[in-house]
A and B are shown apart, each in its own frame.
Chain A
Amino acid sequence: MENATFLQNAWFLLIGVLLAGYAVLDGFDLGVGVLFPFLAKTEEEKRTLIGAIGPVWDGNEVWLLAGGGALFAAFPMAYATVFSGFYLALMLVLFALILRAVSLEFRAHDPKRKGLWEAAFVGGSALPALLFGVALGNVVGGVPLDARTEFAGTFFTLLRPLPLAFGLLGLCAFLMHGAAYAALKSEGALYERARRTARTMAIAFAAAFALAFVAVLIYLPAAVRSAPAWVLSLVVWLSLVLFARSSKKGRDGRAFAFSSAAFLGLWGMIGAIQYPNLVRATAPELSLTIANASSSALTLKVMLIIALVGMPVVIGYTVFAYRVFKGKVRPGAEGY
């Protein structure tokens, strides 16, 4: 195998950072979307949850677009193989994201079809929250690729035990994170419900994490040799414990931070197991790696400059926007 260059390594890391940003930021609004019917019992509670994510979900989702665009620019071979190979699954995700994107705006302004748009919000959040993990489980666990590195399976190839375990784990992580965010932004009965749900989801997360661990042991035994993954798994366990403690004590900001840390630890583990592969092939010599799937050095360099100039600014004004909207949501005051 060719050795990866500095630029290829940098882009593996950067795409990881972009998708981690997506997981931590859009992760909570996807989680709120799935939990919406369970957490919010009254119209006022619904408006609180919607108000909590209304001003920020769109910016959060851009992390996914940036990650997808960066994958296209830096590793076009992997982008092409995954998006054409997982065609039907990704179409389902796209349809869900399209309906979800309009659902909040339309729910607020189309009172006759409120129920429809609420269903679009919940379903449009649930499907991606589940399928992102499944997709990740496939590229990590390995998929059949042919000699031209084209996907050689079908829709059902994607639904094997390891990807399904990853899907479940991802869903639990989104739910815990969403409940933690809901607690941060709400008061009263909704707050208590969100906090209780967050702790239940932490237990579900732990169970799903153990399950995914077993699945990796069975289907990807080589992963146990990754020392960073072991260290990061400790970060995940520790974050989960600290999350549950902070949540119980009502330290919601800290709880949200630990929920984010658990998510990031998980993401780091997957990165450590996956490196230097982008799409692992069932026949290892056909795997798409950062060395054989990348763009030219010049493109990677130009893109690196774009990222290093652009992303600090993005992070700066994103922090500014979150400060503008910080604190508990008082429904009816503004917006939706």
Chain B
Amino acid sequence: MDAVFLARLQFGLIAGFHFLFPPTTLGLSLIVVIVETLYLRTKNEAYKQLSAYLVKILGTVFVMGVATGISLEFAFGNNWAAYSRAVGDIFGAPLAAEAVFSFFLESVFLGILVFGRNRVSPKTYRLSAWLVFFGAHLSGLWILIANSWMQTPAGFHMEGGRAVLDSFWQAAFNPSTVVRYVHTILGGWITGALVAMAIAAWLLLKGKAVGKAALLMKAALAVFAAAAVLQLGSGHAHSVQVTRTQPEKMAAFEALWETRDGAPFTVFGIPDETNERTLLAIRIPKMLSLLVHFDPNGRVLGLSEFPKEDRPPVLLPFAGYHIMILLGLVFILMAAAGIRLLLKKRLTTSRGFLKLLLFAVPLPYLANETGWIAAEVGRQPWAVYKVLRTSEAVSAVVPAGNILFSIILFGVIYALIGAAGLGIILRTVRGGPGGEAADAAKGAA
């Protein structure tokens, strides 16, 4: 196994594992803000207990995000030293800005959310919830600025093999930043809202804290439905942007081997990269052209337009992209079913729907991960699109054996904290809202 492959594998593992937590934080922090706001408006104690319950879960998720995020701040220097030297002039700034503007904010005010309920006024408490929400969303912006610059670099020139910044704003708000940001944030809202709905569903199925669970279900459904519908638009805009700025990536997403006027949308298929064909393909004629160009006869570039050494792999981007789209449609259907039940006043009693919500929890995570895999594998063979190849970005001095050793240890540690963290979250959920007194008694014993 060569060092480039191992370095990619390691980064994929640690970033992919980390990416389970921030989207949850984005969505759950929004739900906490909503519940806290409702508490201050209505003075209904049920909202306060509900908020305390969600904050506990948010606290565990946040800590997991912190624990798995530390290594990413240093991963570029560890495994991608050549990358860091070549593009550090542009790429380092958003990482530093993320720490200065977001990590401090989130960490300090999450401390107040988790430990300070009785030490600050209800208004300061709500403000802290807002600041955690704001910090998490600002953090997402900075990291996606960095990621987007790798996809559609702008605002720089090359000088002796190094990128030199020309315009901070052009680099930060490069052609894919805004749409990628909206798309990722909505993915986080869908994730956090579905987690909250599943928690409510579990309480309802068990007949625990039914009133609070119903409040939570309605608040979370509102966020879920809005985000699921908006995601259709943002996903579409993102695809249009990819077609414009990284045509070979869209060709890989769609396994479009040859350039076509009136390109079809491939609903299903198994890309066969050696023979450049798609097996068992089910296609909708002219649909891809219509979607990305708003013109059924528009021209979409195929993979054959690009030299072989500049083409992304096809199988993973294709599979990731299609699974993500399928899941996006599933979320819209689930939201529609939920709203239908709400209008019929059966949202909290329909056991079938409640059970469906429990089983649906892994789906937004799958959508986030597959979308991310499609985006990043589709960027290959480039670390920075048309600027720096991934194979030229790794650390020259780190032997493959050392990377393998660290991959194994990351695997062991992440399996351990993943399992323990999940166990703790499930235990907290089972405790139900308003179970604080019982918990404290148990802890003191």
Residues of chain A at the chain B interface (Cβ within 8 Å): 54-56, 58-59, 61-62, 65-66, 68-74, 76-77, 79-85, 87-88, 90-91, 94-95, 97-99, 101-102, 105-106, 108-111, 113, 148, 150-152, 295-296, 298-299, 302-303, 306-307, 310-311, 314, 317-318, 321, 324-325, 332-336
Contact = CB atoms under 8 A, between A and B. Distances in A.
Contact of A82 (B77, B89, B109, B442): B77
A52 B101 CA distance: 25
Nearest to B97: A306
Interface residues of B, number: 73
A270 B292 CA distance: 58
A321 to B, nearest CB: 5
A81 to B, nearest CB: 7
Contacts of B267: none
Contact of B63 (A72, A105, A110): A105
Interface stretch (B68-76, B198-206, B212-220, B228-236): B68-76
Given A113-B420, A307-B100, A325 B79 contact: no
Contact of B67 (A55, A65, A98): A98
Given A79-B77, A102-B63, A298 B165 contact: yes
Given A88-B402, A109-B428, A296-B165, A94 B74 contact: yes
Contacts of A72: 76-77, 84, 88, 91-92, 95-96
Contacts of B63: 58, 101-102, 105
Contacts, number: 235
Contacts of A325: 111, 115-116, 119
Contacts of A334: 115-119
Nearest to A101: B67
A65 B420 contact: no
Given A79-B77, A105-B60, A55 B97 contact: no
A105 B73 CA distance: 22
A324 B112 CA distance: 8
Nearest to B110: A58
14 contacts: A55-B114, A69-B99, A73-B92, A80-B395, A83-B76, A84-B396, A94-B70, A95-B409, A102-B63, A105-B59, A109-B424, A151-B397, A306-B97, A311-B100
Contacts of A335: 114-115
A225 to B, nearest CB: 32
B40 interface: no
Contacts of B293: none
B287 interface: no
A306 B100 contact: yes
B415 interface: no
A245 B78 CA distance: 44
A91 B409 contact: yes
Contacts of B117: 334
Interface in B367-413: 395-398, 402, 405-406, 409-410, 413
A150 B397 CA distance: 7
B103 A110 contact: no
B78 A65 contact: no
A50 to B, nearest CB: 11
